[in-house]
Amino acid sequence: MEEKDLTAGFELGPIRPPSEAFSLLIRATRNCPWNKCLFCHCYKGTTFSLRSVEEVIHDIDEAAAMRDYIVEASHSMGFGGDVRQAAAALLSQPYGNQCLHNVALFLYAGGISAFLQDSNSLIMRTPDLVAVLKHLYSRFPDLQRVTSYSRSHTAAHKTLEELKEIREAGLVRIHIGLESGYDPLLTYIQKGTTAAQQISAGQKLVEAGFSLSEYVMPGLGGQAMAEGHIVETARALTEINPDFIRFRSLHVTPTMLLWERVQDGSFLLQSEDAVVKEIAGMIERLDVTSHLKSDHILNLLMEMEGQFPEAKAVCLSIINEYLSLPDEDRLNFQLGRRMGIYETLSDLQDSDRFNSVAEGIGRIRERGDSVEAVTRHLKDRFI
């Protein structure tokens, strides 16, 4: 398929949640208005700015033009109007126009979801955000879900009436990085909010009718604050009772401010096993009806998933299965997961894969290296 000259394109931000992998990306704001969290590297060295409604509407129109081009191609290229086939043909070509690629991916997945970038679209003036949402739905009438990130601090300062207006305009889901419900840890990592504020914001968003997705970061307390992180995070989540609880385990790289504290020894990282035990401690204390998901590649046990309270026993059984493995088998699974050889614990039963990872462990040890250090290095790819 020959790419149409759509050089104007539209702005794309750097990230989106894993669950929005097939969403149309519309950049409503640039970067992060807080940008001080020790564990985050994404927006370092950037400046936050609001985009005008006119700019965002222009980008929506550009995305719609690309959508129209692919729809047209579904006829002209002999696909009989099958837009999904036309999108697949475009996606199979060498990676070129990033914006066109995003629109094709969006259409390939059904063209039903959009995500407003960057880190805190809810910070927009309510009338501006409503105007953007209305235009987005007018140009993409098949949308079923529009979602966005928000900071708890921002959501807490919106009135309930404003939040309801935004929800009625079509913003369906809010993704919030709770990270922790433990105030000393929130202060330490420079989150810029308190547990009480996070709970208040979460409860208000739920009351306004949003599907709320709260992100939790196992391992964030290191060794010193692990217990408080477990207990208070579970308490905060229980009080909020969001639609989704999503785990994203801590991994520290030199691009993060927290790296300096790891290097000078003032922050002691948890082992993989300790993080798994931390997750178990949180799950045991949860009294929610949320859907729990472990849908980030940094998590060791991604198969943990389900609707609570029914899924609590299932998730804990997966953790217990892992922790009951012999030490060498747990190490084998850790390395194999980070190498992309394993997806779930059941993959350990595949002798060919198990032996391949075991041979890799042997070679690492022969070099005098640490398997744990190699595993941490492999995880750098996922940041």
DSSP-derived letter for residue 381 is G
Q: Domain ranges for the chain, please list them.
A: 1-147, 151-324, 326-383
Q: Got the DSSP string for 36-64?
A: --TT--TTTT---EEPPHHHHHHHHHHHH
CB-CB contact of 120 with 150 (8 Å): yes
What is the reported pLDDT for 198? 97
Burial of residue 357, with CB atoms counted within 10 A of its CB: 0-12 exposed, 13-18 middle, 19 or more buried? buried
The Cα–Cα gap between 286 and 264 comes to 35
Distances (CA, A) of 268 to 261, 322, 371: 8, 23, 18
pLDDT of residue 8: 66
* Residue 242: predicted pLDDT: 98
Burial class (CB in 10 A: 0-12, 13-18, 19+), 54: exposed
Are 194 and 186 spatial neighbours (Cβ–Cβ below 8 Å)?
Answer: yes
What pLDDT, on the 0 to 100 scale, is given for residue 94?
Answer: 82
Helix (H) or strand (E) run with residue 150 in it? strand 145-150
CA–CA gap between residue 176 and residue 168 (Å, rounded): 19
First-to-last alpha carbon distance for the chain, in angstroms, is 33
- Of 17, 369, 351, give the one whose Cα is nearest residue 177: 17
Q: Residue 379 is encoded by which pair of tokens?
A: 């995880």
- Angle, helix 126-139 to helix 53-76, in steps of 10 degrees: 10
Q: Note the pLDDT of residue 252.
A: 97
CATH fold group of domain 151-324: TIM Barrel (3.20.20)
Tens digit of each residue's pLDDT, the chain (383 residues) = 444 555 568 999 999 999 999 999 999 999 999 999 999 999 999 999 999 999 999 999 999 999 999 999 999 989 999 999 999 999 998 877 999 999 999 999 999 999 999 999 999 999 999 999 999 999 999 999 999 999 999 999 999 999 999 999 999 999 999 999 999 999 999 999 999 999 999 999 999 999 999 999 999 999 999 999 999 999 999 999 999 999 999 999 999 999 999 999 999 999 999 999 999 999 999 999 999 999 999 999 999 999 999 999 999 999 999 999 999 999 999 999 999 999 999 999 999 999 999 999 999 999 999 999 999 999 998 88
Paired tokens of 369: 């290296």
Residue 256 and residue 289 in contact, taking contact as beta carbons nearer than 8 Å: no
Structure tokens that stand for 23 in this block: 């969403």
Closest CA to 181 of 227, 232, 244, 220: 232
* Model pLDDT for residues 189-236, shown as the tens digit of each residue: 999 999 999 999 999 999 999 999 999 999 999 999 999 999 999 999
Q: Which amino acid is at 55?
A: E
